[in-house]
């Protein structure tokens, strides 16, 4: 092996090491970005959306208002095929408290499945339930609230209108101070009720 040939091999090896280093640095940066996003979730509310499927960082994201599909893809690191969606599709609004699953269909088209995050999953994620709009079944996701108590809370809402304070729950049989302390960790109050059109 000549000296010139040896130097060429060493030079090629140095370029290879540099290339591997750059790729590794880029990958670590992307991973760090994903960790940063994940560590901040649920993030800034009050609109939360969970995304699954063909994205780099699945999980729950917080937005100031209902996000577009394009914003959700950008935040969660959607695959190139998903990012190539047409402009109209990217402008589609995703309702708050939605679970969005992104994938490629059998016909090689982007499939977007959207459904509401159920109350039990929201509690698991640390998202508060709206005491004035949650269903009877949804209220049973709160620790210590059974179906009988949940029905009584809904009946109280129907009888008196939207609850303005958790203290009103003292009117529900079986609910005392300790129960309200627990409930307060899992619910929020809005001025709407489940009967009004402006409820989420």
Does the residue 200 lie in any domain?
Answer: no
Q: Which of the residue ranges 14-18, 61-65, 101-105, 136-140 has the most confident prediction, judged by mean pLDDT?
A: 136-140
Tell me the C-alpha distance between 146 and 24, whole Å.
Answer: 52
Does the residue 195 lie in any domain?
Answer: no
pLDDT digits (tens, 9 = 90+) for 149-189: 999 999 999 999 999 999 999 999 989 999 999 999 999 88
| Dihedral class, residue 108 (left if φ above 0, else alpha if ψ from -120 to 50, else beta) | left
Q: How many helices (H) and strands (E) does the chain have?
A: 8, 6
Tell me the C-alpha distance between 69 and 85, whole Å.
Answer: 10
Range of the domain at 181: 127-188
> What confidence score (pLDDT) does residue 46 get?
73
* CATH code at position 158: 1.10.150.320
Does the residue 56 lie in any domain?
Answer: yes
Burial of 128 (0-12, 13-18, 19+ CB in 10 A): middle
Domain count along the chain: 3
Vertex 35 angle, CA 30 and 38, to 5°: 125
- Are 11 and 36 in a shared domain? yes
The pTM (predicted TM-score) of the whole model is 0.57
- Are 88 and 107 in a shared domain? yes
- Are 86 and 135 in a shared domain? no
pLDDT digits (tens, 9 = 90+) for 54-103: 888 888 888 888 888 888 888 888 766 666 666 667 778 888 888 888 87
Does the residue 198 lie in any domain?
Answer: no
- Are 165 and 103 in a shared domain? no
Does the residue 122 lie in any domain?
Answer: no
- Are 51 and 111 in a shared domain? yes
Does the residue 60 lie in any domain?
Answer: yes
Tell me the C-alpha distance between 198 and 130, whole Å.
Answer: 13
């Amino acid at each position: 092996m000549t000296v010139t040939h040896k130097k060429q091999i060493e030079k090629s090896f140095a370029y290879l090491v540099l290339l591997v280093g750059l790729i590794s640095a880029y990958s670590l940066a992307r991973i760090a970005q994903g960790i940063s996003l994940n560590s901040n979730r649920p993030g800034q509310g009050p609109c939360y959306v969970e995304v699954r499927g063909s994205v780099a960082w699945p999980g729950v994201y917080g937005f100031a208002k209902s996000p577009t599909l394009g914003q959700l893809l950008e935040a969660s690191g959607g695959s190139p095929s998903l990012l190539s969606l047409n402009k109209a599709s990217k402008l589609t609004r995703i309702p708050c408290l939605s679970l969005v699953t992104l994938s490629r269909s059998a016909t090689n088209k982007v499939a977007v499945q959207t459904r509401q995050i159920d109350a039990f999953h929201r509690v698991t994620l640390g998202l508060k339930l709206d005491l004035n709009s949650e269903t009877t079944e949804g209220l049973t996701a709160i620790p210590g609230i059974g179906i009988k108590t949940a029905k009584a809370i809904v009946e109280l809402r129907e009888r008196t209108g939207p609850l303005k304070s958790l203290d009103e729950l003292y009117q529900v049989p079986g609910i005392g101070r300790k129960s309200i302390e627990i409930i307060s960790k899992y619910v929020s109050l809005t001025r709407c009720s489940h009967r009004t059109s402006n409820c989420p």
